[in-house]
Structure 1
């Protein structure tokens, strides 16, 4: 094999195989088609490498036909990306590819001569059918891309990848068989095809899954670099490590075993150290063990909460029915000439009980998270406008300080607004009716987090409640206040933030008042 062929084909083979294996090991959303595509590309390049090795040409002749499976894998990947099922189309594509593979493995001379030079009896007919099929494949993928919702980057990447893969695969082999070119020209085309497939794999993941795929790819590169260095040093040192005049296989195994024994822990330490520097949440073993322990604790906590949720539903159902009867009786009393003040008092208590039940259900039976990207600044302003509407007569002044640029956040938008509304409303109630009362809300965007700070210059949180502030049914507002509290607002807000993997803390400013700080991670855990 020439140096140029080695430089062109070896990296291509390694990248294709690494992408496929990383997606197979860590990917969760990419579907089987993209994994099959990456692995078939790697196998196809294996045939090209064998073809460039003179002593392996006979093996290469039987491996090269496996490239006909690329058409089926590209269609499979396109169907996965589009989210559709196309069993007949895939059956035809895979069936044709498998038929050509079997033909090439069993009777390669029907396709080409020795070393894939010179056309065989079936080469030109199969080449014509394959060219027509490749054109149909590209057209079908382009049709899927046109129908796909925006953004269409993934399906477009597969269309371009299929085109470059077809040219670098069957096109280049056809040139070699017809003595019009060599397989070295396949390397740049297939490299583009692999890169496009890798992009499609990565874009198919979301949230934590995408982080795992990216980290897996980086770790593969780091591990390969360390292994290449270590194996080279080991190869050079091995002749000096074996005992004198001992060249048996047993001695070589003995020396290699004990020399390699500490290398794997050393490699793990280096890779994990690099991962901690490069990534905020690395997938190293200690961090994963900590996350597993945390997940188990949360699972036990979730089981207890589910039991509380069932109890809450039963209690709410039993209380709502009497409340409905009381509301109906109040209406009858009003029609019968009862005191309007008395009727209004009854209705106020009914409404208060209903609000308490609503909060109780929100706390005891939280809905699943609906995570998506949204503009945190816009959601913040909308939540504050809702708070202002709760004070139709004289809303307290609420100053908002947000970054000029939109702060994108991957979270549950309604949960984010619930948290902001609860904190700002509590602060507004604390300063309502006070001379000079003011609420300040700020949004801060940092590389790893989005931080919301809500501060007021009201009386502050009583010290007797500070340790239990985020527990349910803890409130500093009495029953006779204009805005009575249920003691569940902060508990619900803390629950939302915790489910996103963030933090909600209370700080006591030196000049009085209250300050709550919410830290949202870029994506929920």
Structure 2
């Protein structure tokens, strides 16, 4: 084998297998198609290595046609990401199996000795495969243009990866068979294809899973580096240190065993030390043990909060029944000719008590986060629509706009995002209810440090100065019991808790022209989102 071939293709094989195995071990949302594609790319690189290795050329002639399975892997990965039909995937695997079987049985039908001349089926099969790839490529391209956000990035990575894999794989083999090029031409193209597939695998992971996956790849690289040094020592130094100069297999095994015994703990120590230097929250054994202790403390706190939640649920159940009776009696009073003002006052208090119970349950019984990709602008517009329905005819106009053009996405719990947006917009609308010239503006912008900032600003009276310092504490409200829209003091507390659990923050400041301005900072990537 030429040294350049070893330098070019061994790293490609290792990278593809490492991504695939790490995805199997640590991935949660990868999908079988992407994992299979990584393994198929590694298999294809194996075929190219065999083709350039002395003594394995005959074997390579039987293996190379099986590389067409990469196209089936692309179809499989696309079906997983886009949720497309599985029929083309089954068809792609069937065609790949037929071509692989044909090449394994009689490679001379495809090319001559050493894959240096075309066989009788070479050109017809090349044309068919070329047309099939164009069809798949067009489909991938259209799907990427039609998709949005995370799905669009993954399909786009798959599309460009398929182009590069085809050029670096099948096209390079065509050039070799026609004696127009060398297999080394495909190395940089296949490398880029593997990196794009790895990107599609990585961004499919959300929350902590992405952090663990990325660190798993880095730890694999560090482990390989240290293992390389250790193996060189074993092969070159230890035989000379064994009695008899390594001629005795028993003595050599004895020396190697004792030398290897401390090597694994030493490797783990070095890798974990380097991991702490590279990552803010490493996943080494000791780091995971510390994290378990912190989780146990949080679990104890969560258990106490769960007790509070169960108490709140019991209280809510006991209070809802009398509220239902009061509401029914109010309806009877209305039918019996009671004063409308009296009935309206009763219903208003019942509604207020119900809202308080709902807010209390949301605050005391937080549910686990379900992280997904959220379209910020469309979710804000949905929240604005809900607020207009809640406030009614007196609702001021609500403007929702990005600070810069284009869609903006965050990885968050969609229900939590909607709750926060609704709370901020509803507070602003209530503060302006009935006022002339009132306006609300919700602006979305990308902030520093990988955050997306949702800024809600109004030109109302603002937050009373005496409660600004404790605004996000539970049961703190600037609206009295007799207000048109009495507050429970839990809306902002719930919103602040949602943001805190996502790794973000909620802050308040007085608007320059008067009124209130709230800023909700959402992490664009949910690397630290809590469960």
Distance 1:97 1:305, change over 3 A: farther
Q: Distance in 1 between matches of 2:101 and 2:54?
A: 23
Shift, 1:117, TM fit: 3.0
Deviations 1:231-270 (A, max 9, x none): 3344332234323445222222222222122222222222
The secondary structure found in structure 1 opposite 2:250 is: helix
The secondary structure found in structure 2 opposite 1:458 is: helix
The secondary structure found in structure 2 opposite 1:54 is: coil
Q: Distance in 2 between matches of 1:99 and 1:81?
A: 26
Shift, 1:308, TM fit: 5.3
The secondary structure found in structure 1 opposite 2:56 is: helix
Match in the other structure for 2:299? 297
Which deviates further from its counterpart, 123-132 or 489-498? 489-498
Q: Does residue 1:319 correspond to 2:322, yes or no?
A: yes
Quick check: 1:373–1:409 contact (8 Å CA) kept in 2? yes
Match in the other structure for 1:159? 159
Quick check: 1:66–1:101 contact (8 Å CA) kept in 2? yes
Quick check: 1:308–1:364 contact (8 Å CA) kept in 2? no
> 1:18-97 maps to which residues of 2 (within 5 A)?
18-87=18-87, 89-97=88-96
Q: Distance in 1 between matches of 2:285 and 2:242?
A: 34
Match in the other structure for 2:438? none
Deviations 1:280-300 (A, max 9, x none): 332223343454562792786
Match in the other structure for 1:115? 114
Q: Distance in 2 between matches of 1:80 and 1:444?
A: 30
Distance 1:493 1:287, change over 3 A: farther
Distance 1:499 1:419, change over 3 A: farther
Quick check: 1:158–1:196 contact (8 Å CA) kept in 2? yes
Q: Does residue 1:192 correspond to 2:196, yes or no?
A: no
Q: Distance in 2 between matches of 1:127 and 1:232?
A: 44
Match in the other structure for 1:360? 360
Shift, 1:316, TM fit: 5.2
Distance 1:315 1:186, change over 3 A: same
Q: Distance in 1 between matches of 2:80 and 2:343?
A: 62
Quick check: 2:467–2:476 contact (8 Å CA) kept in 1? no
Shift, 1:57, TM fit: 1.6
Shift, 1:69, TM fit: 0.3
Shift, 1:40, TM fit: 0.5
Quick check: 2:30–2:201 contact (8 Å CA) kept in 1? yes
Gaps of 5+ in 1: 391-403, 429-442, 463-468, 506-516
Quick check: 1:449–1:520 contact (8 Å CA) kept in 2? yes
Match in the other structure for 1:281? 281
Quick check: 2:13–2:42 contact (8 Å CA) kept in 1? yes
> 1:367-378 maps to which residues of 2 (within 5 A)?
369=369, 371=371, 372=373
Quick check: 2:111–2:117 contact (8 Å CA) kept in 1? yes
- Cα RMSD of the aligned pairs, angstroms, is 4.7
Q: Distance in 1 between matches of 2:110 and 2:304?
A: 64
| Aligned match for 2:466, one of 449, 453, 458 | 458
Match in the other structure for 1:98? 97
> 1:163-312 maps to which residues of 2 (within 5 A)?
163-291=163-291, 294=295, 297=299, 311=314
Q: Does residue 1:413 correspond to 2:421, yes or no?
A: no
Q: Distance in 1 between matches of 2:92 and 2:468?
A: 70
The one of the two structures with greater contact order (alpha-carbon pairs below 8 A, sep at least 6) is 2
Shift, 1:44, TM fit: 0.7
Quick check: 2:26–2:212 contact (8 Å CA) kept in 1? yes
Match in the other structure for 1:328? 331
Distance 1:461 1:255, change over 3 A: same
Quick check: 2:66–2:100 contact (8 Å CA) kept in 1? yes
Q: Distance in 2 between matches of 1:409 and 1:4?
A: 44
Deviations 1:43-76 (A, max 9, x none): 1101111211112222222322220101111111
Q: Distance in 1 between matches of 2:497 and 2:133?
A: 54
Q: Distance in 2 between matches of 1:83 and 1:327?
A: 52
The secondary structure found in structure 1 opposite 2:169 is: helix
Shift, 1:21, TM fit: 2.0
Q: Distance in 1 between matches of 2:421 and 2:188?
A: 50
Deviations 1:340-372 (A, max 9, x none): 6x6676455434423332323434555664655
Quick check: 2:451–2:521 contact (8 Å CA) kept in 1? yes
Aligned length, in residue pairs: 472
Quick check: 2:18–2:217 contact (8 Å CA) kept in 1? yes
Q: Does residue 1:135 correspond to 2:95, yes or no?
A: no
Gaps of 5+ in 2: 392-402, 432-444, 455-461, 508-518
The secondary structure found in structure 2 opposite 1:119 is: coil
Match in the other structure for 2:437? none
Shift, 1:165, TM fit: 1.5
Deviations 1:175-212 (A, max 9, x none): 22333333222212212221222222223222323222
Shift, 1:42, TM fit: 0.7
Quick check: 1:51–1:60 contact (8 Å CA) kept in 2? yes
Quick check: 1:176–1:183 contact (8 Å CA) kept in 2? yes
Shift, 1:415, TM fit: 4.4
